[in-house]
Amino acid sequence: MGAAHPVRDPIRVSWERSHASQVDVDRPAPVYFDRIDRETTLMRAARPVIDALSAELHNEPVCIILTDAKGVVLDRRGGDPALLRRLDSVDLAPGFQYAESAVGTNGIGTALEVCGPILVDGAEHYNGKLRMFSCAGAPITHPVTGGLLGVLDITTQARNSNSILLSFAKLAARRIHERVVEEANALDHALLSDYYAACRHSGGPVLALGDEVFMMNAYAQARFDAIDQAALIDRTRDARGGTKPQIFLTDLPSGTTARMAYRPTFVGDTLAGGVIQIKEQRLPARGHQVTRFPVVPGTTGTSAVWQHIIQEMLDACSRSEWLIADGEPGAGKLSLLRAVRRHVAPDRRLAVLDPAVTGEDLVAEARAELESGADLIIRRAHLLTGEALDGFTELLQSVRDGATAGEAWVALTLPADRAEIADQLLAFFPRTVEVPPLRHHVEDVPALVRSLLAKAGINGLTFSTATMNQLMRLPWAGNITHLRSVLAAVARRRRSGVVELADLPPECRATTRRQLTAIEALERDAIVDALSTYDGDKKASATALGMSRATIYRKIREYGIVT
């Protein structure tokens, strides 16, 4: 694309990255995100700074722009009408992502790529439409982790550019950083205060968790071994970010049931984190006798957590007690209900109906199944609404009254958050069993792998120790269903032999514990594929992806990619 004069090295390298990303040189194409979180640490810290700066620059032809760490514009202030119209014409507005890979060299995306402040003047922009502007971007980092929070960008028309723009952007970014420090100190102090108070008053195990803080008191470290500690830490994921007190139980690998009471900590209206007090709930001791769990065909897993759930279902089914199985999608609710009921009542037929499949005919089909002497499971019962819900409620009442089906047994499956289930249905089901997500019993992964492969008719595959350990480190957002799909992907590539790390899909070679956006997942997979192609050579991989080495190292750490 060339220029009239030689360009600075940072700009030249940015052009090379832009070219490798196949950025359109004629028209920027930023991605739009319709949801912007306006209550983040960055937004809270930046708001008063940007308010003050926009007031100072009220009559100046410059615009103040704040983005997140992905280059998505969060706020845009100031600027005269002519400048704002020009910014709108290139979609440099809230919600649009000005990443370098999408729009080429620019003050926002390039500052993120080089992890430092930069001024991009007029003709230095890769995209022709952006050359009417000059923009200075300065990154804002977190005071604790050092991670990027976003960019403060000052943009003006190219004819108004001067070197003060960059100094101004750096000053504004520094002010925001200082406010982030102040808030972090206040939030951490409040959380620490509540944590120490809980330690003093409870005399037992206490955990504290914030955005960047995790604490475990000495009593918890002494009372629980490393495996139980890992299970407790993982279970705190369900409380993180919670704004209301809650209590939940978790079965630890040692066989202990832990009662975890979470209470949030606030500074004003801002959540600082929360404190969790733990109490152990043990079954009555039976001498030195080892607990033996019944073998239930169709269930896979020997962890204490999984066996406890099976035992709960067995107890209910043995008494023909109607029950609800709730839990995350793919956790195995339906499979468990089927296996346990057939184990308890092998001579009775079991019918499964799904409102999403059966539709308006569900009540008639359910009645027919019950009258034929079958037991019944309604899958995804939260989808029952309107006339179907009323009709099914009447049917259940007629069964309870003995007018229909006699000794029929009925169960429902629900998602983990069953807030939508009607109270009129809950009245018929005296027990709810929470089926744990796979991340709460990862020690069952090896057995599940063997079982799922056998069910798929794949008998020639084995997994190396390193590969199996990696599978046990993953969060498994889709639970057992997710694991099944991963095994299917592995089997499509290899039908026999030993599965090594390189044989796993890209998503399984990273261990980030947060939920990735679709774009982040694509970026992670691209990095994993490049590293595989170039045998782990990060420099070559970065070059192929159009990234700097600093960026690919940061992405590898951020996504937890195993290299």
The region of weakest confidence among 41-55, 376-390, 393-407 is: 393-407
Residue 124 lies in a domain: yes
3-class SS letters over 505-525? CHHHHECCCCCCCHHHHHHHH
pLDDT at residue 282 tops 70? no
Among 142-151, 184-193, 285-294, 466-475, the range scoring the smallest mean pLDDT is: 285-294
- pLDDT of 228: 81
Give yes or no for residue 253 having a pLDDT over 90. no
Give the highest mean pLDDT range of 91-100, 136-145, 357-366, 500-509: 91-100
Query: How much is the pLDDT for 134?
Result: 96
Q: Are residues 152 and 40 in the same domain?
A: yes
Instruction: Provide the pLDDT confidence category of residue 19 given band limits of 50, 70 and 90.
Output: very high
User: What average pLDDT does the chain have?
Assistant: 86
Predicted local distance difference test score (pLDDT) of residue 17 = 93
Per-residue pLDDT of 509-542, as tens digits, reads 876 656 666 667 777 878 887 887 788 888 888 8
Write down the residue that tokens 């056998």 correspond to.
454
Q: How confident is the model at residue 406 (pLDDT cuts 50, 70, 90)?
A: low
Is the four-CA dihedral 334, 335, 337, 342 of positive or negative sign? positive
> Encoding tokens for residue 472?
């046990």
| 129 occurs within a structural domain | yes
Residues 256-285, mean pLDDT to the nearest whole number: 84
Q: Is residue 141 part of a domain?
A: yes
The residue that leads in pLDDT, 8 or 545, is 8
Instruction: Assign residue 476 the CATH number of its domain.
Output: 1.10.8.60
- Count of domains observed in the chain: 4
Considering only CA atoms, which of 70, 69, 23 is closest in space to residue 519? 70
Q: What is the chain's Cα-based Rg?
A: 29
pLDDT at 284 over 50: no
Token pair of 449 as six digits: 């792998």
User: Of residues 403 and 65, which shows the higher confidence score?
Assistant: 65
CATH number at residue 357: 3.40.50.300
> Are residue 422 and residue 467 in the same domain, yes or no?
no
Kindly indicate the confidence band of residue 473, based on its pLDDT and cuts at 50, 70 and 90.
confident
Is there a contact between 363 and 391 (Cβ–Cβ < 8 Å)? yes
Q: Which domain holds residue 53?
A: 9-180
* Encoded tokens for 209: 């968790």
Which residues, in sequence order, are bridge partners of residue 446?
A: none
Distance of CA 354 to the CA centre of its chain: 28
pLDDT at 288: 43
Same domain, 393 and 308: yes
394 in any annotated domain: yes
Return d(Cα 385, Cα 58) in angstroms, integer. Answer: 54
Bigger pLDDT: 79 vs 505: 505
In a domain, 170, yes or no: yes
Between 181 and 134, whose confidence is greater? Answer: 134
pLDDT of residue 3: 46
Q: Tell me whether residue 185 is in a domain.
A: no
Residues 219 and 334 in one domain: no
Do 424 and 498 belong together in one domain? no
What mean pLDDT comes out for the span 334-338?
A: 95
Q: What is the pLDDT of residues 186-226, one digit of tens each?
A: 888 899 899 999 998 888 999 999 876 788 998 888 888 87
What are the tens digits of pLDDT across the range 350-392? 999 999 888 778 999 999 999 898 999 999 988 888 888 889 9
Q: Please, are residues 246 and 262 in contact by the beta-carbon 8 Å criterion?
A: yes
pLDDT digits (tens, 9 = 90+) for 418-464: 545 667 777 888 888 889 889 888 889 999 999 999 999 888 899 99
Same domain? For 359 and 386 the reply is yes
364 and 333 together in one domain: yes
Say what the pLDDT of residue 382 is.
87
Together in a domain, 221 and 321? no
What pLDDT sits at residue 286?
44
Same domain, 37 and 176: yes
Q: Is 287 among the domain residues?
A: no
pLDDT at 145: 66
Q: Where among 415, 436, 457 does a domain terminate?
A: 436
Of 408, 436, 464, which residue is a domain's last? 436
CA distances (Å), origin 6, targets 10, 111, 124, 258 = 12, 21, 10, 66
Task: Note whether residue 375 is domain-resident.
Answer: yes
Are 150 and 261 members of one domain?
A: no
Residue 57 belongs to domain with CATH number: 3.30.450.40
Domain boundary among 395, 417, 436: 436
Q: Are residues 342 and 260 in the same domain?
A: no
Q: Which pLDDT band, with edges at 50, 70 and 90, does 287 fall under?
A: very low
In terms of domains, do 354 and 452 share one?
A: no
Label residue 372 left, alpha or beta by phi (over 0 means left) and psi (-120 to 50 means alpha): alpha
The per-residue pLDDT for 215 is 87
Mean pLDDT (whole number) for 461-490: 90
